[in-house]
Amino acid sequence: MEPFALKNALSRVQETCPLVHCITNYVTVNDCANALLGVGASPIMSDEPLDVEDITSICGGLVLNIGTLNVATIAGMRAAAARATALGHPIVLDPVGAGASALRTETASELLDEYGVRVVRGNMSEVKAVSGASASTRGVDVDPADAVTDASLLEAAAFAKDVAARTGCVVAITGATDVVADAGRAFAVRNGSSLMGKITGTGCMLSAITGAFAVANEEALLEGVLAAVACMGVAGQLAAARMEGPDGTGSFRTYLLDALSTMDGDILEAKAAIEEIQEA
C-alpha cells in the first residue's frame, strides 16, 4: 500500500469529522469515545433499543462490539444495524469473544449474515468462530494455536481473503502481526507494542476508530481499514516509547490516547510497517 494512501485516509477523517454510533461494551466505552475524538471523529454511544434508530440515522457509520452482551443490547444492535443497512451506512462488527459462548457466536454470526456489515475486526479465533471455521477462543483472547506468526502468515492471508470473499467485507485480523484483506489483496501490518495487550480496550478502540475511517474512506474501504489498523499500532509504539521507570499500564493508557490525538499523516506515513502478502 502506498504511504500516501494512509496519509490521505487519515486526512479524510480529520477533515470530515465523521459522526460514529458505537454500541460497545461497558468495560471500554469511555476509551472508545476518547479514541474517536483523538483521531478527529465524533462519537455517540447509545444501546437503548428505543433510541438507536434515531441515533444511527444522524450518524455516518455504526460500530457493533459484542463484548458485554445482554438481551437489551442485542435488541439495540439489531435495530441499529437494520437502520444503518437501510441507510447504506458502513457497519463495523467486532465479535469480541465469539467462540467462547453460544450467545456470542450466534449473535455475531446473525449480525454478519443479516445486516450490511462492511468490516469485521477481531482476533483470529473470533473471526474463525464468526465465519464458521474451527476455532477455540479463550475468553476474549486469541487461542495460542490461532496466533498469526511468520510461519502462518500466508495461511492467515488466504483465510482472511476467503472470509472477505464470502461476506463481502474487509477483514482485519489483529494480533502481534495484523492481517487486513479484501477478496483480492491482503496486507500484513507489523506495528504495535506488547503493552497494548496489558490494558483493556485496545482492540475495542481500534474497532471504534475503524468506524471513523470506514465512513471517511467508504470509496476506498480497504485503504481506510488498513490506515486505521496502522494508526492504532503506531500509536501503541509511540506510547511505549514514552514509558519511563515509574510508568505502568495506567501511564501507557494515557500515552496511547495522547498518541492518537497527536497523530498526523506524516507520522503515520513514516512509521507504518506494512507489506502486501503475496501468494507463494
Domains and CATH numbers, the chain: 3-276 (3.40.1190.20)
pLDDT for res 139: 52
Q: Which residues of the chain have pLDDT under 50?
A: none
186: enclosing H helix or E strand: strand 186-189
- Cβ atoms of 55 and 84 within 8 Å: the answer is no
pLDDT at 148: 83
Residue type, 255: Y
**Distance between CA 230 and CA 192 in Å, rounded?**
8
Query: Is the pTM here over 0.85, yes or no?
Result: yes
Q: Cell 494512509: give the residue.
A: 6
User: So what's the pLDDT on residue 141?
Assistant: 52
C-beta neighbour count of 213 within 10 angstroms = 31
Position 66 scores a pLDDT of 97
Pairing of strands 61-65, 91-94: parallel
The whole-number pLDDT of residue 4 equals 73
97: left (phi over 0), alpha (psi -120 to 50) or beta: left
Q: How far is CA 280 from the centre of its chain?
A: 28
Q: How far apart are CA 97 and CA 103, in angstroms?
A: 10
d(CA 75, CA 177): 34
Write the pLDDT tens digit of every residue in 106-124.
999 999 999 999 999 999 9
Residue whose entry in the numeric block shows the C-alpha cell 478502540 = 205
